[in-house]
Structure 1
Amino acid sequence: MTEVLHSPVAGEPIENVLRAELAHGDAMIGTIIPIMRHLLASDDHSVFSEEIVARTRSMLEDVARQLLIARGEAGNVPDPREIGAEDIAALVHSLCTDPLLLAHVHALALEFQLSERLHGRLALDPVLSPMLQALIASTDAQIATSAMNLLAAQTRFVQSQRRMQLSLLELPADVLHAALIALRQHCGPSDEPAMIAEKKFCETYDEARTRLGLMTRLILGMGGGAQAALSVEHAGVALFLTALSIAAGQDRALATLATNEGQVARLALALSASGMKASTVEQQFVTLHPDISLPTGFEDLGPDRAAAILSHGAGYPA
């Protein structure tokens, strides 16, 4: 493997190398949201040949469309699905002003890209991973039912991603709140149809039944067995990212971003902080980044020191 993570010079602590690499990754994180906003607002369609930007934009347009349809229905508009492109573009602009929402949608695009890459390279099913299959077959009826519900949710997610769509009711609560605030800003704070639509969304929303909610509950319910979910080949990308987020104490969007090549130090630290031995971390790098190896001395780091270094890193959005 090509060593991209630098090894320390003689006598230099491994922590110094990883802190420097993490700082470099943090600097990159700080540019992501502003650059993404710029690309999404650009009229140069050549920019959207990039898969992640195109997918992020399409999901935001789908979210905007759902919000405007709901407002139209609440206002008894004859055909609420007849929405002008300018209205959608204006609401997308409002949605992009919230960094939490934009970071979440960007992370979903990255997650699907990673799933597709591992499906092509390792034949890892983006819907039914070996772990999910085993959980569905569990003799514990509650675990089996939760796993079946997750299978259905993951199937919907993959289908939606292939259409570059995103259901509003699949958003985390804080992200859904941000989307509803954007609708209110777009329509005006006293717009009655928007307020009625917001109320209906709140009445039908259940975060525990979202794909991310189901995964979180399933991982937390596994106790010590959740360590097995830190193998991406066994758990699949979706469960792996959720387990990594929980085990390393990182936001899931940040855990997803850590799988990017520019964030390999963050990934190594997160895996180590989750309690993995260096040899097991190396196995995950073989799966995720086969051309990148861990720096010399990484095996001496340990979970506590890795977590301490990671705690000083940037959040996402920065």
Structure 2
Amino acid sequence: MKGTNFVKKNLLPLLILALISFFFGCQEESSLETSEPKTEKEAMIQIADEDSLLASFEPNYNEDGVMDIIGKVNTPIYPVRVGQKMRLVNRVLDINIQGDTAYGVLTKTFEGTLFILAKYDSTSTEPDTLIQKPFTSTITRNLVFIKIANTEFPKRNWVLAAVSLPEGGTNTPQSIDITKMTVFLPNGDTLVINSPNDYYLHRRWGFWWRWKNFPVVPGNSQLTIRVELTSAYEQDDFVTLTFGADARGLHRAKKRFVLVSSTFNGTGYDKVYEQSFQTHQYRGFFHAILNAMPGQVVLDDSAPVEQESWGVPYFVRP
């Protein structure tokens, strides 16, 4: 009898609670249904989007933060500061599934603006203009996915097993060509890279033996990068390294490479540049991005942007 009275007194609250539970349960189920990829390609795109190593590229490729000032044209300039602002405008992941392995080519197209904070008078102590040069660049990297299950949920069936290093640049004819990058790690190891898209790093420990390890470096440690390139010009090229930016673009730093040697090869100049940089103390994946441009791109305010870019990810541990 007491049980019957309890039910009668609390019938309305119990019904409301049941309806609320049902409503939110349906919402959660609907959310799961809409977020779960329906095809293998959709699953691989989502897996790539969620990978922290891949995500660390763009914050370092973009060098946002230069003031907007109107500049002049067709005049030699004396650059004080140079940076680029990049906006991703297209992203395509082509997938080729071969049995239990899928090979992907990730292509990203960026619209960029090269900002050159400069002065027209070499004797001036302050910059007086900001040159803005629009350009388009395309960056590619290869991905390898391995099938690990056969469930009805495609995303649970595949893992990202390996990624190549990124490379690319402007779509205009190049008068500068990076041929080799050597990275000297704090522990004495050396990475020798001749073709970034053919240099693979593993993303799953179960496959570590098939590909190279991604660099893991202590916080506040020093790395040195040596760059070998061919340039059509005798003058110094503008070769820079951008590194350290997290997903929000914080802690970004930039350094210019120093020319070590230059040798005329009959048609152009074989050059070697070097630079060292220190990692910060923040844990996570980051990219060191190498951008190489002929010198006149930043010394002549009318010269179009020519740029080649390579990158290498690294993980900072405390």
TM-score tier, shorter chain, comes to under 0.3
Name the structure with the higher strand share: 2
Bigger relative contact order, structure 1 or 2 (CA pairs below 8 A, ≥6 apart): 1
TM-score (norm 1): 0.27
